[in-house]
Amino acid sequence: MKTKKVITDNPKDFYHGKKVFVRVDFNVPIDNEKNTIREDYRIRRAIPTIDFLINAGAKVILGSHLGRPKGKKNKNLSLELVAVRLSQLIDKKVYFCDDFTDKGWPEKINNLDNGSVVLLENLRFYNEETENDDHFSVTLASLADIYVNDAFGTSHRAHASTYGMALKFKSKLAGFLVDKELKFISKMIGEVEHPFVVIIGGSKIKDKITAMAKLLDKADKIIIAGGAAYTFLKARGINIGNSIFEQDMLDWAKDVYSKYSDKIVLPVDHLVSESIEKTNSCLIVDQEIPDDYQAFDIGPKTIELFNSIIKGPGCIFWNGPMGVFELDKYSSGTIHVARAVALATWRGAVSVVGGGETIAALRKAEVLESEISHMSTGGGALLEYLGGSDLPGIEILD
C-alpha cells in the first residue's frame, strides 16, 4: 500500500498563519424549491479536517464542485447555502467567495485573521476546472500556500482543483477523510480476510467491470443483483422481459460467468411490474421474467439466498442497490441486504460500502454509520481504485 502524507504528519505550527486550500466534496443534494440542503452528510464529514486547520491557526480556503453546471453560473447549483450550513456546524463565520478570479478576493483572503474559513463558489462554474486548464490552476493555487485533498470521491478526475493546481504546491497532503478512505480500501486490495463477499448492484455494470474483474479473482462469492444482474441473466439465455440490460456487455458477461460460475451468485426470483409506476401490477416471479414485465427488485427467495452468504466474519464490499429502492415498493431487497451487511459487521466482518445511492440506501434501511466498518464517499473513484487504477488526485499527494 502506498502511504500518503496526512495533515497530522506535520507539527501544528507548520500551518500557523498559512493559507491552506482544501479540496472538499460538498456535492450535496439541494432542494431548490425550499432553498435548503436536503442532506448535509458530506459537509459534516469534512469537519475534522477543517477543525484541525482552524485550531492550527491556518486560513482555510475550501473548494468544491456541486452538480454539473457545465462551465456556466447556475444559481441552483451555488455553494452559498453550503457556506451558511457550514457556518452553523462549525459555529463560526464562513466567508463566501462568489468569484475567486475577481481581483479583490486574493487580497481579501490575505487580510483575514488566522483561523478564518472561506468557501469558494462552485468550481465547475468555470469550464477550466474540468479541462484542468493551467492558467486556471495557477490562479487557484496562488490563493494558498499548502494544498490538502479531502475529497476522495473526485480523486479519479484530473481536474484543476484535484490535480492541476496541486502540482503547483510544495506541500500536498491528505485530509482525514482521504486518509481513512485509503486505509480501508487498501484492506480490499491487499491481503483480504476470507470469506470475501462482494455485492454489486445498481443500474450499470459498464463502469464497474475493471473493479469487478479484479475482485472476481479475490472474492469467494460475488453477488450480482439490481439492474446489473439482467445483463448476466440475459447472457445466460434467460428471459428478462423488459428489464434493463447492456447490449454491449452481453459477451463480457457471458465470458465472465462461464469462468466464475462457482463464485457468481445471481437473483433466483424477482419483483416485477409492467412499468415503474404501475405498482399495482407487481408480481413475484422465479427465474424467467414474462414479456412486458420489468424487474425492479429481487424476490424473497433471493433475499434468503443472499442472507445465507452475507454472514461474516471476513470481508464484505458492497456497491449498488438491489433494486429501485428509491420507491418503497421496490426497496425490500436493498433494505434486507443493508441489514445483512450490518449484521455481518456485528459478527466481525470488515465491511466497506460505497456509492452515492448505496449510502442513501443504508440510511433508508436505518443502518447506522457505526454498523458499517467504512462508508466510502466515492463511487467511481472507489471502483477505479479497487480496479487497480492510480487516482490522479491521490497520486499527486506527498
Instruction: Please report whether residue 203 would count as binding ligand ADP according to CB under 6 A.
Output: yes
Instruction: Please report whether residue 358 would count as binding Mg ion according to CB under 5 A.
Output: no
Tell me whether residue 356 is one of the annotated catalytic residues: yes
- Give the separation between CA 289 and CA 313, rounded to whole angstroms: 35
State the minimum distance, in angstroms, from the CB of residue 299 to ligand ADP.
12
One-letter amino acid at 369 equals E
Residue 300 cell numbers, joined:
424473497
Binds ligand ADP (CB under 6 A): choice among 154, 162, 319, 345: 319
Instruction: Please report whether residue 356 would count as binding Mg ion according to CB under 5 A.
Output: yes
Tell me whether residue 204 is one of the annotated catalytic residues: yes
Instruction: Please report whether residue 378 would count as binding ligand ADP according to CB under 6 A.
Output: no
**103: CB partners within 8 A, 6+ apart:** none
Instruction: Please report whether residue 324 would count as binding ligand ADP according to CB under 6 A.
Output: yes
Binding mask 227-266 for ligand ADP (x = CB under 6 A): x----------------x----------------------
C-beta of residue 352 within 8 angstroms of C-beta of residue 316: yes
Binds ligand ADP (CB under 6 A): choice among 164, 299, 314, 379: 379
274 binds, among ligand ADP, Mg ion, none (CB under 5 to 8 A by kind): none
One-letter amino acid at 6 equals V
State the minimum distance, in angstroms, from the CB of residue 295 to Mg ion.
19
- Give the separation between CA 344 and CA 330, rounded to whole angstroms: 23
Instruction: Please report whether residue 355 would count as binding ligand ADP according to CB under 6 A.
Output: yes
End-to-end CA distance of the chain: 14
Tell me whether residue 190 is one of the annotated catalytic residues: no
Binds ligand ADP (CB under 6 A): choice among 64, 332, 358, 376: 358
- Give the separation between CA 297 and CA 356, rounded to whole angstroms: 18
H helices within the chain, ranges in order? 41-55, 80-90, 104-110, 127-131, 134-141, 176-189, 209-218, 228-235, 250-260, 300-309, 332-346, 356-364, 380-386, 392-395
Instruction: Please report whether residue 132 would count as binding ligand ADP according to CB under 6 A.
Output: no
Instruction: Please report whether residue 320 would count as binding ligand ADP according to CB under 6 A.
Output: yes
Nearer of residues 53 and 151 to Mg ion, judged by Cβ? 151
What does R_g of the chain's alpha carbons equal in angstroms?
Answer: 22
Which of 38-46, 68-76, 245-253, 317-325 is the region at the interface with ligand ADP (rule: CB under 6 A)?
A: 317-325
Which of 93-101, 285-293, 316-324, 336-344 is the region at the interface with ligand ADP (rule: CB under 6 A)?
A: 316-324
> Residue 300: exposed, middle, or buried by beta-carbon count in 10 A (0-12, 13-18, 19+)?
middle
Which of 2-10, 71-79, 277-285, 321-329 is the region at the interface with ligand ADP (rule: CB under 6 A)?
A: 321-329
Instruction: Please report whether residue 267 would count as binding ligand ADP according to CB under 6 A.
Output: no
C-beta of residue 77 within 8 angstroms of C-beta of residue 30: yes
Q: Which of 23, 42, 208, 221 is catalytic?
A: 42
Residue 59 Cα distances to 19, 54, 111, 182, 366, angstroms = 5, 7, 10, 26, 38
State the minimum distance, in angstroms, from the CB of residue 288 to ligand ADP.
16
Which positions touch ligand ADP (CB under 6 A)? 201-203, 226-227, 244, 295-296, 319-321, 323-324, 326, 355-358, 379
Which positions touch Mg ion (CB under 5 A)? 356-357
